[in-house]
Amino acid sequence: MEPELLRTLLMNVASTSHLAVELFLQLQSDSEESDDIKSPDTYDAELLVAFTEMLSTVERRFWARETSTEWWDHIVLQAWDDEQWLQNFRMRKATFMGLCAELTPTLWCKDTRLRAALPVEKRVAIAIWKLATPDNYRSVANQFGVGKSTIGIVLMQVCRAINRMLLRRTVTLGNVQDVVDGFAQMGFPNCGGAIDGTHIPILAPPHLASEYINWKRYFSMVLQVLVDHRGCFIDTNTGWPGKVHDACIFQKSGLFRKLQAETFFPDRKITVRDVEMPIVILEDPAYPLMPWLMKPYTGKLDRNKDQFTYGLSRCRMTVECAFGHLKGRWRALYGKPDLGESSIPAVISACCTRHNICEGKGERFSQAWTSEVQRLEAEFAQPESRATREAQHRAARIRDALREEFEAENQE
């Protein structure tokens, strides 16, 4: 038998023997203090209570690995400045504490007789650290002084709490006029947002794995977002297998139904070259052309079409920048999360919510994070969008009118 295993067995036997002796002495002491004659049932009940109390006082070193929380309790919480918080948790300490306060009603747990519950702040820190760094579960566990299995449990608890408490009021449309004015300053009139999708690499699912293989031949899950002029998410849709086309995901989304019914944006139309134009969103050639959905011209372009396409593409860069910030802050999105495919959408949605929180609080985005994203993008290249051939006559008229308007402005 291995020496280490033998030593562990002997320690367990010694611990059990110690427990038995202590239990016997306690029962003997109790019986000497009482002159009453007790029934067998009473004696059995007392034996059970005494055993339970003694078990709760056994030294934990025999059944749980000793860990240290010195780093979190005394270094991070007490000594780190805002720059250290930003580099490691992607937000300053004040923003972090505000997030914890929002999540406390959902995440707070009371202590048990066997162990103290993890504080809310530590739970949130574990989840953010796991998503902001490429560290594996064991590394994060050692860092925070908890068990390896605790990391996965805490990660999902925090992500689900964020989605339950903050998602709907953080990922939302906001002030429409501010968004329209923002895109107008960038060069596109009556625009309410830009839409696109990105592929999040995942491990091969145990079931229907072929559905998750995208056109670049790696397993992925699609995140489709609508962003405003500042790069904040207005709407998110995730969980679709990587094989599904962007246009198909969009047409099956709640956002599409609201846009189609003209209930997502307020009814604010403008007239361009005698053509009525509603609030539109911008997208790439993968999506269909619709009266409220503008995409660039494709193929060989003349000067006028090229000007329109350039103006549209420049405004669409907001969604590309948003994806860059999202993945730069939460690098685990490129680390093939070791989670079941049913859990990954909750993690992605929570990352989108935290992205909006960081952008809304003005948290600085480090350019050093961009280089890391670019390296990961090279390893997991985004599949090229395949253009759809759907186009409505009214939508084409709006696009042509916009093209003519752009041409007239450039001639002035």
Written as one string, the DSSP assignment of 80-126 is --HHHHHHHHSS-HHHHHHHHHHHHHHH-----SS-PPPPHHHHHHH
> Which tokens hold the place of 182?
């923002």
**Whole-angstrom Cα distance, residue 219 to residue 97?**
36
**Residue 63 confidence class, pLDDT cut points 50, 70, 90:** very low
Residue 14: HSE in the Cβ half-sphere, 13 Å Cα cutoff: 9
If one counts every other C-beta atom within 10 angstroms of the C-beta of residue 405, the result is: 17
Least confident of 65-74, 93-102, 109-118, 167-176: 65-74
Residue 138: helix, strand or coil by DSSP? helix
**Whole-angstrom Cα distance, residue 48 to residue 245?**
63
**Whole-angstrom Cα distance, residue 51 to residue 219?**
52
**Residue 159 confidence class, pLDDT cut points 50, 70, 90:** very high
**Whole-angstrom Cα distance, residue 123 to residue 108?**
9
For residues 13, 16, 21, 25, the Cα torsion angle rounded to the nearest 10 degrees is: 170
Residue 27: helix, strand or coil by DSSP? helix
Q: What average pLDDT does this structure show over 70-90?
A: 94
**Whole-angstrom Cα distance, residue 80 to residue 139?**
20
**Residue 183 confidence class, pLDDT cut points 50, 70, 90:** very high
**Whole-angstrom Cα distance, residue 360 to residue 344?**
24
This prediction's pTM: 0.80
Domain boundaries, the chain: 3-32+39-60, 70-165, 174-411
Q: What average pLDDT does this structure show over 120-124?
A: 96
Confirm if 225 and 236 have CB atoms less than 8 A apart.
yes
> Domain 70-165: which CATH class?
mainly alpha
Contacts of 338 (CB under 8 A, 6+ apart): 137, 152, 203
Of residues 114, 75, 139, the one with CA closest to residue 332: 139
pLDDT tens sequence across 302-345:
888 888 999 899 999 999 999 999 999 999 998 788 888 899 99
φ and ψ at residue 145, rounded to 5 degrees: 70, 40
Q: What average pLDDT does this structure show over 31-39?
A: 48
Confirm if 126 and 155 have CB atoms less than 8 A apart.
yes
**Residue 383 confidence class, pLDDT cut points 50, 70, 90:** confident
Confirm if 275 and 397 have CB atoms less than 8 A apart.
yes
Residue 339: helix, strand or coil by DSSP? coil
pLDDT tens sequence across 141-150:
999 999 999 9
Of residues 335, 313, 316, the one with CA closest to residue 136: 335
